[in-house]
Structure 1
């Protein structure tokens, strides 16, 4: 059941930050004292939080952002798609919007970026909830980086995505209960790839620009309270990653959801909302 909009107004915006357009949805709540900053995962967008945000927007101010080159954000080849540069840009957006008492809600790669934000600007955030947050990844092989410079690299990325099963096939890999995959769901995840054909060239550059994840010594310096939420059947970022993060992040706790895959906001929206409210408050 979707909570009615009582104190909240939704604004859809595009703002240029560091030379690229950032699309974000801003749910302004005149009675809220805390802000939730949502960051989606790889090949995704703010669409993935469509069941979670409606249940939270009457209690918090919310900003949900599409980080480039995904969703409705920019896909220029002039932007550096590194964790560091995306992080700097998102921090600037938070500053421009004058957000206060901010907590990060990051899913998958959004969790990776969230950890970078906590490390670079710990004073900006109160807490963080990482939903199957990726971590410990190394930069891609040099051969793939070399391929990303080819004129037709975008075509290779497109063919790779199709060969991997397309949107529907990839959704089947990231959920435990495949019956939740509907035509509406497939359409929502597919739309940016139909609407913006230049996303494939940008993805090739994204692969080239992405650096190594944060190392253990850096993770141990992050003192922000963090809730780690994992599905016990996650095949994309296995539970072993969550347990490792629990050991490496000084102020963290881990909740494991049974019969749940990687796409936690889609599979367990009610439980996700419950955990966020309890942890943030």
Structure 2
């Protein structure tokens, strides 16, 4: 059975996923990938920009996996699905750009507050501009899109656009959910993920 691999957002917080993981009563192994130089994670000589961090994340995936990714982590997940279709069997994307251009959506600017809160985090993480739109049609695996209806950073319209771009995607709304809904509404999120895994026969 595929592993469940969790990718944090820009905070790099691995504990963000703990409430959700505790509510997932599944047989699959679970792994949270930490980002070097983020939070308490030590630096790594091979990670020095966004591309090298993306490659680092990809190298942590050594077997068939389902990636569960929040916010900026969704870009790593999408890149991994494009690069290693043999290993990535499913995607669960939460409140992420997914690598599309967010300019048309008038989203709230998170970068200034982020830099003020995380003073010692790498600067290159907030400067990256990536557009993976032309490649999303290559991702033929089942994609579950989860969005909160109270999220100014990644509004529902972003999820609706991603649903149109992925060949096999379903969008579900977490009512009352802000950008951190995976942590604050972990029970509702767990129910959606378990349904997704069961529907596509990912469970034992």
TM-score range, shorter chain: 0.7 to 0.9
More helix by share: 1
Show CA shifts across 1:50-105 (max 9, x none).
Answer: 101122265220010112332332336873321x322322221222xxx3x31000
2:19 corresponds, among 51, 54, 59, to 51
Q: What corresponds to 1:112 in structure 2?
A: 75
Inter-partner Cα distance in structure 1 for 2:36 and 2:141: 26
Map 1:127-146 → 2, pairs under 5 A: 127-135=90-98, 136-137=100-101
Map 1:18-57 → 2, pairs under 5 A: 33-56=1-24
The answer to whether 1:123 aligns with 2:86 is yes
TM-score (normalised: structure 1): 0.61
TM-score (normalised: structure 2): 0.82
Whether the 8 Å CA contact 1:68–1:81 is kept in 2: the answer is no
Residue segments in structure 1 that go unaligned for 5+ positions in a row: 1-32, 139-156, 167-192, 194-198
Map 1:1-281 → 2, pairs under 5 A: 33-56=1-24, 58-75=26-43, 79-82=47-50, 84-95=51-62, 99=63, 101-135=64-98, 136-137=100-101, 161-162=115-116, 166=117, 200=120, 202-208=121-127, 210-214=128-132, 216-281=133-198
| Mean Cα deviation higher: 270-279 or 69-78 | 69-78
- Compared with structure 1, are the counterparts of its residues 75 and 250 closer, same or farther at alpha carbon in structure 2 (3 Å cutoff)? same
Inter-partner Cα distance in structure 2 for 1:55 and 1:127: 19
- Compared with structure 1, are the counterparts of its residues 251 and 160 closer, same or farther at alpha carbon in structure 2 (3 Å cutoff)? closer
Whether the 8 Å CA contact 2:174–2:189 is kept in 1: the answer is no
Structure with larger RCO (C-alpha < 8 A, sep 6+) = 2
- Compared with structure 1, are the counterparts of its residues 76 and 254 closer, same or farther at alpha carbon in structure 2 (3 Å cutoff)? same
Whether the 8 Å CA contact 1:66–1:72 is kept in 2: the answer is no
RMSD of aligned C-alpha atoms? 2.6
How many residue pairs match? The answer is 190
Whether the 8 Å CA contact 1:127–1:226 is kept in 2: the answer is yes
Inter-partner Cα distance in structure 2 for 1:246 and 1:132: 13
2:123 aligns to what SS in structure 1? Answer: helix
